[in-house]
Structure 1
Amino acid sequence: MSNSFITFVLLDRPVTPDMSAVAKILRARHPDLMTEPNDPGERQVQASSPLLRCGNRLVAVMPMPSPIPDDAGLWTRAATIWPEGKAVAVRHRGHLVVSALAKNESPLVAARVTTAVVGALIAALPECCGVVWDGRVARPSGLWQEESSRSFAPFPRYPFTLWVDILPFRSGAKIGMITVGLSAFVGREIEFVTGELALPALFEKVAGLSAYLIEHGNVVKDGDTIGASSSERIQVRHRDSGAFGGLPVFYCVDEVGH
Structure 2
Amino acid sequence: MSNSLLALVLLDSPATPDMSAIAKVLRARHPELGTEVGENGTLPQVQPNSPLIRCGNEFVAVMSMPARIPDDPGLWSRAGWSWPESKTVAARHRGHLIVSMLGQGQRPLIAARITTAVIGALIATMQECSGVVWAGQVARPAKLWLEMSSRSFVPFPDYPFTLWVDILPFQSDGKIGAITMGLSAFVGREIQFDTGKLTLPALIDKVNGLSAYLIEHGNVIKDGDTIGKDERERIEVRYKNSEVFGGLPVFSCVDDFA
Structure 2 residue 49 is matched with structure 1 residue 48: yes
Structure 2 residue 34 is matched with structure 1 residue 25: no
Q: Where does 1:127-166 land on structure 2 (aligned, <5 Å)?
A: 127-166=128-167
Amino acid of the structure 1 residue aligned with 2:212: A
Q: Is the 8 A contact 1:176 1:193 kept in 2?
A: yes
Structure 2 residue 112 is matched with structure 1 residue 111: yes
Alpha-carbon separation, structure 2, partners of 1:8 and 1:34? 24
Q: Where does 1:62-101 land on structure 2 (aligned, <5 Å)?
A: 62-101=63-102
Alpha-carbon separation, structure 1, partners of 2:230 and 2:102? 41
Aligned-residue offset at 1:39: 3.3
In structure 2, the partner of 1:12 is: 12
Query: Secondary structure in 1 aligned to 2:256?
Result: strand
What do the CA deviations read for 1:19-49 (whole angstroms, capped 9, x no partner)?
Answer: 0000000000001111011039xxxxx9931
Structure 2 residue 232 is matched with structure 1 residue 231: yes
Aligned-residue offset at 1:160: 0.8
Query: Secondary structure in 2 aligned to 1:255?
Result: coil
Query: Secondary structure in 2 aligned to 1:176?
Result: strand
Q: Where does 1:29-40 land on structure 2 (aligned, <5 Å)?
A: 29-39=29-39
**Uncovered stretches (5+) of structure 2, i.e. residues with no partner:** 41-46
Amino acid of the structure 1 residue aligned with 2:126: L
What root-mean-square deviation, in Å, do the aligned CA atoms of Structure 1 and Structure 2 show? 1.6
Alpha-carbon separation, structure 1, partners of 2:193 and 2:257? 15
Query: Secondary structure in 1 aligned to 2:170?
Result: strand
Alpha-carbon separation, structure 2, partners of 1:169 and 1:204? 15
Q: Is the 8 A contact 1:6 1:98 kept in 2?
A: yes
Alpha-carbon separation, structure 2, partners of 1:141 and 1:47? 29
Query: Secondary structure in 2 aligned to 1:193?
Result: strand
Aligned-residue offset at 1:103: 1.5
Q: Where does 1:234-249 land on structure 2 (aligned, <5 Å)?
A: 234-249=235-250
Alpha-carbon separation, structure 2, partners of 1:48 and 1:63? 10
Query: Secondary structure in 2 aligned to 1:206?
Result: helix
Pair 256,69 (structure 1): closer, same or farther in 2 beyond 3 Å: closer
In structure 2, the partner of 1:200 is: 201
In structure 2, the partner of 1:188 is: 189
Alpha-carbon separation, structure 2, partners of 1:165 and 1:190? 11
Aligned-residue offset at 1:115: 0.4
Aligned-residue offset at 1:175: 0.2
In structure 1, the partner of 2:178 is: 177
Query: Secondary structure in 1 aligned to 2:236?
Result: strand
Aligned-residue offset at 1:172: 2.0
Q: Is the 8 A contact 1:47 1:63 kept in 2?
A: no
Aligned-residue offset at 1:256: 8.5
Aligned-residue offset at 1:153: 1.1
Aligned length: 251
Aligned-residue offset at 1:192: 0.1
Aligned-residue offset at 1:3: 4.1
Q: Is the 8 A contact 1:29 1:149 kept in 2?
A: yes
**Uncovered stretches (5+) of structure 1, i.e. residues with no partner:** 41-45
Q: Is the 8 A contact 1:68 1:94 kept in 2?
A: yes
Q: Is the 8 A contact 1:4 1:101 kept in 2?
A: no
Amino acid of the structure 2 residue aligned with 1:29: R
Structure 2 residue 62 is matched with structure 1 residue 61: yes
In structure 2, the partner of 1:215 is: 216
What do the CA deviations read for 1:197-249 (whole angstroms, capped 9, x no partner)?
Answer: 01111001001100111111111011111111221111101111111111110
Aligned-residue offset at 1:56: 1.4
